[in-house]
Chain A
Amino acid sequence: MKENFKTLTSTVVPLPIENIDTDQIIPARFLKATTREGFGDNLFRDWRYENGTQPKADFVLNDSTYSGKILAAGKNFGCGSSREHAAWAIYDAGFRVVVSSFFADIFKGNALNNSLLSVQVSDAFLARLFELVEADPQSEVVVDLENQKITLPDGTSESFEINAYKKACLINGYDDIAYLLSLQGDIVAFENKN
């Protein structure tokens, strides 16, 4: 079972780059593992390390000024290959929410199936978010899943969309199987009736 959350208040890791594709998120050479864990170390591997091993000081994940459970990225996040590993890597690295002004469809689905919430906001709202976080890296953003609302440190907020089923899963900490297991009473009743 995954963690559940109704509201998440966290500082933000800003990545104001557009069109980040899944090959950048998790390069293809890291896809051979047979489990879903351990991908976090290789998240943005080629942006994070020089020659594969030397941390690049100027990359945001290596910069201790920024931390948190929310990743904010430029428009069209998660385009490219459909690999689910991209969502696993972001989740495994400790993020629970990604904010962008547009998500590639398949990435959005993969993320939700792995308890990673994608919050799509307007371009202007995203620009404001980057501004505020850069001005004060300690400032916090509030993601209120129950009311589908995201609020910036300056109090401005925007609402966002999410599929009702996936919303229920995230709030209750269910994944698909946990959700089905929670219905076992209904399932047995169905069997008895037929």
Chain B
Amino acid sequence: MQTLFDKIWDSHVVKRREGFPDVLYIDRHYIHEVTSPQAFNGLRKRGIGVFRTDQTTATADHNVPTKDQHLPIREALSRHQVETLRKNCAEFGVELYDLLHPYQGIVHIIGPELGLTLPGMTMVCGDSHTSTHGAFGSIAFGIGTSEVEQVLATQCVLQYKPRRMRINVNGQLGKGVLSKDIILYIISKISASGGNGYFVEYAGDAIRGLSMEARMTICNMSIEMGARGGLIAPDQTTFDYVKGRRFAPQGEDFEKVVAYWQTLKTDEGAVFDKEYDFDADDIGPMITYGTNPGMGIKVTERIPTLEELKDISEHASFTKSLEYMGLKPGGQLLGQKVDYVFIGSCTNARIEDLRLVADFVKGKRKASGVEVWIIPGSKQVEKQAQEEGLDQVFEEAGFELRGPGCSACLGMNEDKVPAGKYCISTSNRNFEGRQGPGARTFLASPLSAAAAAVTGRVEDIREYI
């Protein structure tokens, strides 16, 4: 009896020896401009090439501007990194979806939408949110630059196998509650370090009922509880999503591979090192108040007081965090003023997210004084939004639909939230300075962000739908 994680991992081990890390074969390697240059340098020094160029895909996302993408990048360091990626990909023969290419976008958005990410695969990228791809029933995790070099050189990476955790969510989700709320809820319960050393399988009927895009949001934030990655067993929803995508197996090949994918599940009675059960009925729209993703509450709840914290050792960091956020212990977030709304990132910038937002804001206008950025996850999402007329809806609401990229998720490009300003964000990290020096981030679902855009305050979305 094996878990799904064990099945995929073990079938990708090229060599296992006592006391040695596993030599794990990687089916697909995604690279981007920030974590690859030193790795390519390493290959050059050794005089070797990329071992499997056809299993390697590159894009420019972290540093790219989201306005005027046809112009040269203004910021010197960003420009240099993107140019270095171009040079490296050309020299080593790696496919690059560069700025303005119809397939360009955030690496974790384009893999699934192009059918490069498939069930049963092992996938890595020099980026922690590689866990996103686990939504297809695959093992996907982030690696460091020295490991990027390992994979470029040999299509393998040295890894000690993590432990297994299962998180079951059963029951009925309430209205206005999205998969983003599920994952923020889970992290608030088990903490930002509760998944350390584990690889998580998400299961239960509330997870089964989610679309592929909603599942990706959950797996994406596995890293925010410290886990190496997260996965969800593939099912009909998965197969339907993959079918017909650009690089997915087609026709007869597809039917054949689906027969195999159907075997990808955890055996009845397989044992996990740790298991949690959550009740979907208890989950409401969530929001974070602090500076790590575990500091989340239901939007209707109050921020905890010092006395309510279970762990006394957390007092100092809790106080520091609230000071940074300009909030008070025991205070309420409902009604809190926001200055910026960021709808984007590999967590929530897929077409479904944009549709939800457009549906909600149709015929409404943004509150005055609030700046709203909608950053599609990819060129394809952008195009689809235009074809469906979502861009019109956004324009009429006073929202700005920009070009694709990571943008204000990490503020490496020009999209930064100014110091002291509050931003409700659909991204995944609320660390100090993450969205710009001094910026204050509330993590929430795209619907909660849309509601805040319209009123200029933190709202309970359930009162508006």
Contact = CB atoms under 8 A, between A and B. Distances in A.
Interface of A: 34, 113, 163-165, 168, 176-177, 179-181, 183-184, 186-187, 190-191
A92 B120 CA distance: 43
B154 A181 contact: yes
Given A183-B14, A183-B154, A177 B149 contact: yes
Nearest to B23: A183
B15 A186 contact: yes
Contacts of B21: 165
A164 B15 contact: no
A176 B38 contact: no
A164, A180, A183, A184 interface centre (most CB from chain B within 10 Å) = A180
Nearest to A184: B154
9 contacts: A165-B17, A177-B153, A180-B154, A181-B154, A183-B23, A183-B156, A187-B25, A190-B14, A191-B25
B22 to A, nearest CB: 10
Given A168-B20, A176-B158, A177-B42, A186 B153 contact: no
Given A181-B48, A187-B14, A190-B25, A164 B20 contact: yes
Interface of B: 14-15, 17-21, 23, 25, 38, 42, 46, 48, 51, 146, 149-150, 153-156, 158
B150 A176 contact: yes
B381 to A, nearest CB: 33
Contacts of B19: 163-165
Given A163-B19, A168-B20, A180-B23, A187 B154 contact: yes
Contacts of B42: 177
Contacts of B158: 176, 179-180
B416 to A, nearest CB: 23
A163 B46 CA distance: 26
A181 B153 CA distance: 7
A21 B150 CA distance: 30
Contacts, number: 51
Contacts of A179: 158
A181 B25 CA distance: 13
Nearest to A113: B146
Contacts of B154: 177, 180-181, 183-184, 187
Nearest to B13: A190
Given A177-B149, A180-B150, A165 B14 contact: no
Contacts of A177: 42, 46, 149-150, 153-154
A172 to B, nearest CB: 13
Contacts of A165: 17, 19-21
A163 B18 CA distance: 10
B88 to A, nearest CB: 15
Given A180-B23, A180-B150, A187 B18 contact: no
Contacts of A176: 146, 150, 158
Given A176-B158, A186-B14, 4 more contacts: A164-B17, A183-B15, A187-B14, A187-B23
B27 to A, nearest CB: 9
B439 to A, nearest CB: 26
For the complex of A and B, the 4 pairs showing the least CB-CB separation, nearest first, are A164-B19, A165-B20, A180-B154, A190-B14
A88 B67 CA distance: 41
B55 to A, nearest CB: 10
A12 to B, nearest CB: 29
A181 B156 CA distance: 10
A127 B103 CA distance: 64
Contacts of A164: 17-20
Nearest to B48: A181
A177, A181, A183 interface centre (most CB from chain B within 10 Å) = A177
Given A164-B18, A164-B20, A187 B38 contact: no
Contacts of B156: 180, 183, 187
A171 to B, nearest CB: 13
A166 B153 CA distance: 20
A113 B149 CA distance: 14
B15 A34 contact: no
Contacts of A190: 14, 25
A165 B156 CA distance: 16
A163, A176, A179, A184 interface centre (most CB from chain B within 10 Å) = A176
A179 B147 CA distance: 13
Nearest to A164: B19
A168 B23 CA distance: 15
A111 to B, nearest CB: 15
A163 B20 CA distance: 8
Nearest to A84: B146
Given A163-B19, A164-B18, A164-B20, A180 B153 contact: yes
